[in-house]
Structure 1
Amino acid sequence: MDEQGRSTLSADESGRILDRLAGLEKVISQKQITNALKVTDKQSVRRCRLTNEMMMWVVLAMGLFTELPIRQVFKACRRLRQGEPSPCRSALCVARQRLGSQPLVALFESVVRPMATEQTPGAFYRGMRKVAIDGTVMDVPDCEAHQHLGRSSGSRGEAAFPQLRKVSLVELGTHIEFAFVSGGWKDSEKKQVEGLWAAIPDDALLMEDRGFFSYDNWKSLHLKHKLLVR
């Protein structure tokens, strides 16, 4: 992007971005965006370029284009509006902070769900929907808001960044992560996983590593679901 905020992407790259944005709009509608802002009391009161509605699309697009800075993502979202200048990076960052995370959580809860059908390759086994539980640890920005997560340490001292531990419920046929629980890196995955029980579909064949297995977990699940542990 040049100093005036014009995109410097090649035509091929621009076409790829437009295709991916069009795909995003097939899954998420403007009505769902508006509803998520309404239920979290985040609808914009005054009309301006960086409304919360616009920033919802920008933040969602940032998840698709992780290699691009926020100004470039904004320009991609407004690509069909030729000649429109882009806001400065600081204005976009302030607008993103103003939006907060609550509308995105509400949107996730209203949109994301298992989507496999009987025609989806590898999605079912003997009529049961294949889903899996798995955990991961990831670095997060070293800011004040993340210090409560803690960080790992070793013989060379503490890790450079705070770390978040996440346990996810994934539909195997589509790779959709339709539920997750997050916490600090010291949190027990066996305790975190209890927050996923309510999200398991009734027709699920649940697969998990033996590290998640415990008698309490088995007792909570075996009456309602089929469980496969390796």
Structure 2
Amino acid sequence: MDTQSVITRTITVSGGRFAPGHLGELTQHLPFEMVDEALTATRTTQSRLRDLPSRVVVYLLLAACLFPEIGYPGVWRKLTVSLTGLPLVTPTTSGLAQARRRIGVAPLRWLFDLLRGPAATVGQRGTWWRGLLVCAIDGTILTVPDNPRMLARFTKHPGNHGGTGYPQIRLVALLACGTRTLIDAVFGPTTTGETTYTPHLLRSLRPGMILLADRNFGAKDLITEIADTGADVLVRLKNGRKMPVLARYPDGSYLSMLGRLLVRVVECEITISTTAGRHTGVYRLATTLTDHHHYPAAELITLYHHRWGAT
């Protein structure tokens, strides 16, 4: 005789203007229970009822990432525009900024560590290649607010990045190519280079991954560190770099050494088409996948194209 057990869980949630459904699509991706758990785990839940409870502030900050150009008051209006008929508060810019400082970065870091990852599906195009999860690493420059707190750590730089005159940060990210999902990220002052930040991402590499990277990441010690995690690498090398030829294979690739690391080198021509026209360049790729039978050179060249699709 089969028996069944039914477990019912009752959750008490906020009502009125703080009801979770009023926070729009964000609650579909980050349920309010998850946000509450982050606040509890980091001890940042408000100690008394406020017009801006900690849960609401977390969603405000998440929404601010989607609309960085309109400021906190503009984001608040987007979150509350449909709440007609409810007695809403109208927080000032300084009030919203104080609420952000009150909860700090801890709950957001907790949520990031919980959710980061490849989120890869078996059938999604570009996610897997010959049983390996296809990932890419790259860096970019972002602007941050021009205020004394930011200037104490970050530097202003002249240039054409759209934020001339603003402090800037360097962000280096590890992504899953098929889903463009963030696996890990690190950021800091632009006075530190991409390859210096990269070792902080090695914690997220593992066997079963293949990492695509451009020639800025082709330093022999860094590639060796990446290979030591068990992940494989497909990296572009600078054309002027001298690579010893240890053995040649029928597909045109050859066995070589990158420092103390045994690699296979593939030389090819790649044409890139953009709105400005077509550009053909000679590329030299190095990979830790040394079996030319199981990992043909032509497929490795095609695979390297996925790096542009993810970054």
Interval of TM-score (by shorter of Structure 1 and Structure 2): 0.7 to 0.9
Where relative contact order (Cα < 8 A, 6+ residues apart) is larger, the structure is: 1
Question: Matched residues in 2 for 1:138 and 1:168: separation?
Answer: 13
Query: 1:107-146 deviations in whole A, cap 9, x for unaligned?
Result: 1111222101111121111111111000011221111222
Q: 3-state DSSP class of the match of 1:222?
A: helix
- Aligned residue among 177, 182, 200 for 2:182: 177
Q: Closer, same or farther in 2 for the Cα pair 1:163/1:76, shift >3 Å?
A: closer
Q: 1:131 to 1:27 in 2, by over 3 A?
A: same
| Per-residue Cα deviation, 1:39-96 (whole angstroms, up to 9, x for no partner) | 2221111112201111101111122233444234324334553223232323222212
Q: Which residue of 2 aligns with 1:228?
A: 234
Runs of 4+ in 1 over 6 A off after TM superposition: none
In the aligned structure 1, how far is the partner of 2:55 from the partner of 2:158? 41
Residues 23-102 of structure 1 correspond to what in structure 2 (within 5 A)? 24-79=26-81, 81-83=83-85, 84-89=87-92, 90-102=94-106
CA contact (8 A) 2:207 2:232 kept: no
The two structures have a TM-score, normalised by structure 2, of 0.61
Contact 1:75 1:86 in 2 (8 A): no
Displacement of 1:181 in angstroms is: 1.0
CA offset digits 1:141-189 (Å, max 9, x no partner)? 11122222223358xxxx5122111111011111112211111111021
Q: Which runs of 5+ in 1 are unaligned?
A: 1-17
1:188 has 2:190 as partner: no
- Structure 1 residues 21 and 201: CA distance shift in structure 2, 3 A: farther
- Match in the other structure for 1:11: none
In the other structure, the counterpart of 1:149 is 154
Instruction: Tell me whether 1:140 sits opposite 2:144 in the alignment.
Output: yes
Say which structure is richer in helix: 1
In 2, the alpha carbon distance for the partners of 1:79 and 1:221 equals: 48
Question: Size of the alignment, in residue pairs?
Answer: 208
SS class of match (1:206): strand
**Over aligned residue pairs, what C-alpha RMSD do you find?**
2.3
The residue type equivalent to 1:109 in the other structure is: D
Aligned to 2:120, what secondary structure does the other structure show?
coil
Secondary structure class of the residue paired with 2:46? coil
Cα–Cα, structure 1 residues 72 and 165, in superposed 2: closer, same or farther, change >3 Å?
Answer: closer
The corresponding residue for 1:211 is 216
Counterpart of 2:90, as a letter, is P
Q: 1:45 to 1:62 in 2, by over 3 A?
A: same
Name the structure 2 match of 1:168. 173
Q: Is the CA contact (8 Å cut-off) linking 1:190 and 1:213 kept in structure 2? A: no
Larger displacement relative to structure 2 (191-200 or 72-81):
72-81
Which residue among 123, 139, 150 is the counterpart of 1:119? 123
Aligned partners of 2:113, 2:131: CA distance in 1, in Å? 26
Identity fraction in percent? 27
Q: 2:132 matched to which residue of 1?
A: 128
The DSSP-based 3-state class of the residue aligned with 2:24 is helix
Partner letter of residue 150 of structure 1?
T
Structure-1-length-normalised TM-score? 0.81
